[in-house]
Amino acid sequence: MKIFSGSANRPLAEKIAGYLGMELGDVELGRFSDGEISVKYNENIRGNDVFIIQPTSPPAENILELLLMIDAAHRASAKRITAVLPYFGYARQDRKDRPRVALSAKLVANLISTAGTNRVLTLDLHSASIQGFFDIPFDHLYSSIFFIDRIKKLFKDGVVVGPDVGSLKRARAYANRLGFDLAVVDKKRSGPNNIEDVTLIGNIKDKNVIMVDDMIDTGGTLCRAAEMLKKAGACQIVAACTHPILSGDAIKRLEDSEISKVFVSDTVPLQDNKRSNKIEVVSSASLFGEAIKRIHNEESISSLFYSVKK
């Protein structure tokens, strides 16, 4: 087994390799004078079980770098290539719900498969149905495995809230594992990242609230929901959002919001200008490391997330 990292999130890749007691493989990621990406493996990988760690978060060059690394490994006769995607980007367009729109999630899935990938490992997809876009083995991990312990240390009881209807299944899984009640916020959008109206379904009065979602982008959905929950009588409001995209004025929104703490993972590097006292990063390295070890040893990884799928 050999593990290689792209440039999108090398710190996480180093933690994963450290968990496995390994060093990252030697791959040269360069640029031609016009900006084109070049990839060259500086060690023999013929017949090896190769794992390439690279989130496909923006910019789109991260996807291209991943594809070139897969192609180079395929042409170097790697026995099996597993694309480890801590964050599967371009996933929000996963269905044709309006005329003349792209299905970016399907396109990215096709690109990864066509490049020569044998298997995909990722964490908290924006929509679980994206797994069906792949015709190769696909392992989907869940961040609740490492967020649950943090939440239990904060609250003995409370209500798990999905900030939108799409997060209801995820919220129900958290509620089942925590033994908490469940509520959901129904939102109406007027366009991308624009929320026109929100409605609360469930009772949260005089209760601690945990909002769960797969990502936090602009923070608009989360902060608007927190404002409604506070007005409805919620006590302390905490959020667990796996992928910290934090674009635009997200940090300012969080600082000004009713949310007291936000748990995020390290699937996307957190830049210095995107840090806040309200944000606590929980590493996903041990989860990915354990999954990679089990894949290599042809062992089941279902025990890592079976209870989350209720």
**pLDDT confidence band for 190 (50 / 70 / 90):** low
Name the average pLDDT for the chain: 92
Specify whether 136 is located in the same domain as 168. no
Specify whether 223 is located in the same domain as 300. no
CA pair distance 238, 161, nearest whole angstrom: 10
Confidence (pLDDT) at 14: 98
Q: Give residue 65's Cα distance to chain centre.
A: 19
CA pair distance 285, 293, nearest whole angstrom: 12
Lowest mean pLDDT among 68-72, 212-216, 219-223: 219-223
Specify whether 208 is located in the same domain as 131. no
Name the nearest CA neighbour of 236 among 244, 226, 221.
226
Specify whether 137 is located in the same domain as 148. no
**pLDDT confidence band for 309 (50 / 70 / 90):** very low
**pLDDT confidence band for 310 (50 / 70 / 90):** very low
CA pair distance 236, 161, nearest whole angstrom: 13
Specify whether 62 is located in the same domain as 88. yes
Query: The domain that contains 8 carries what CATH number?
Result: 3.40.50.2020
* Tokens found for residue 13: 């890749």
Give the predicted TM-score (pTM) of the model. Answer: 0.92
Q: Quick check: helix, strand or coil at residue 281?
A: strand
First-last CA distance in the chain: 33
Specify whether 199 is located in the same domain as 292. no
Task: Report the percent of the chain where pLDDT is more than 90.
Answer: 83
Q: How many domains does the chain have?
A: 2
Specify whether 134 is located in the same domain as 217. no
Taking each helix axis from N to C end, the angle separating 104-114 and 61-75, rounded to the nearest 10 degrees, works out to 20
**pLDDT confidence band for 216 (50 / 70 / 90):** very high
CA pair distance 223, 259, nearest whole angstrom: 7
CA pair distance 247, 254, nearest whole angstrom: 12
What would the mean pLDDT of 173-200 be, rounded to a whole number? 78
Specify whether 186 is located in the same domain as 248. yes
Q: Can you give the residue range of the structural domain that contains 28?
A: 2-142+286-309
Specify whether 124 is located in the same domain as 173. no
Q: Are 192 and 221 in contact (CB under 8 A)?
A: no
Specify whether 190 is located in the same domain as 272. yes
Specify whether 52 is located in the same domain as 153. no
Specify whether 148 is located in the same domain as 122. no
What would the mean pLDDT of 48-69 be, rounded to a whole number? 96
Judge whether residue 116 has pLDDT over 50: yes
Task: Report the percent of the chain where pLDDT is more than 70.
Answer: 95
Active site residues: 187
Judge whether residue 307 has pLDDT over 80: no
